[in-house]
Chain A
Amino acid sequence: GENVEQHPSTLSVQEGDSAVIKCTYSDSASNYFPWYKQELGKRPQLIIDIRSNVGEKKDQRIAVTLNKTAKHFSLHITETQPEDSAVYFCAARNMNRDDKIIFGKGTRLHILP
């Protein structure tokens, strides 16, 4: 079955700098890759996603890139702000088969003042 690896587990960046979180997946049939943000004590919420027919997607300060050949995708946050501090999860989903959504173990992002 699908396996999603996420790195790093913890990331600290200075406010205003950029943060990059990387994920790899094992099932080449996966075709949808969402990213979720979870603030302390709250539920995960979608921040951006990408389908396998697209190489890059951007939404203001957040972007996601996908390399299908290498089976990895990354989240990029530019001009980081204190409110970006949270746990971020990547996931992989096969929308053509069983529709399982498998998550990575998460990255705790700290924005340092």
Chain B
Amino acid sequence: NAGVTQTPKFQVLKTGQSMTLQCAQDMNHNSMYWYRQDPGMGLRLIYYSASEGTTDKGEVPNGYNVSRLNKREFSLRLESAAPSQTSVYFCASSEYPTGGSNTEAFFGQGTRLTVV
């Protein structure tokens, strides 16, 4: 059981380049999230998807786009990378909580992105 898998683990981009971070979960979760983690700033929500076919902005969506390709996969795209997007990116997934269902959010191992 792999849980939440992110690719790549490390990436260096030049300013203006584009890239897509991939995330897949095998727990049949409805909700998926993308966060960025910067020193002293905690985990800030970029975008989330409460179900297949829906996506919504989080706290810091500017400069990013997302696609919920199917129930398993949720990708994050940087169209024109900027140095301010240097960060560690985490994908997470969770069951959409109903009644007494498990509400734990599981995280991927993270992607360390550097934009030069």
Contact = CB atoms under 8 A, between A and B. Distances in A.
A16 to B, nearest CB: 28
Chain B, interface size category, equals 20 to 34
B96 to A, nearest CB: 6
A100 B45 contact: yes
Given A32-B97, A101-B105, A103-B43, A44 B90 contact: yes
Contacts of B56: 98, 100
Contacts of A32: 97, 103
Nearest to B112: A41
Contact of B31 (A49, A99, A102): A99
25 contacts: A1-B59, A9-B40, A34-B105, A42-B109, A43-B107, A43-B109, A43-B110, A44-B43, A44-B90, A49-B103, A89-B43, A95-B96, A95-B97, A98-B48, A98-B56, A99-B31, A99-B48, A99-B50, A100-B45, A100-B58, A101-B105, A102-B45, A103-B42, A103-B43, A103-B44
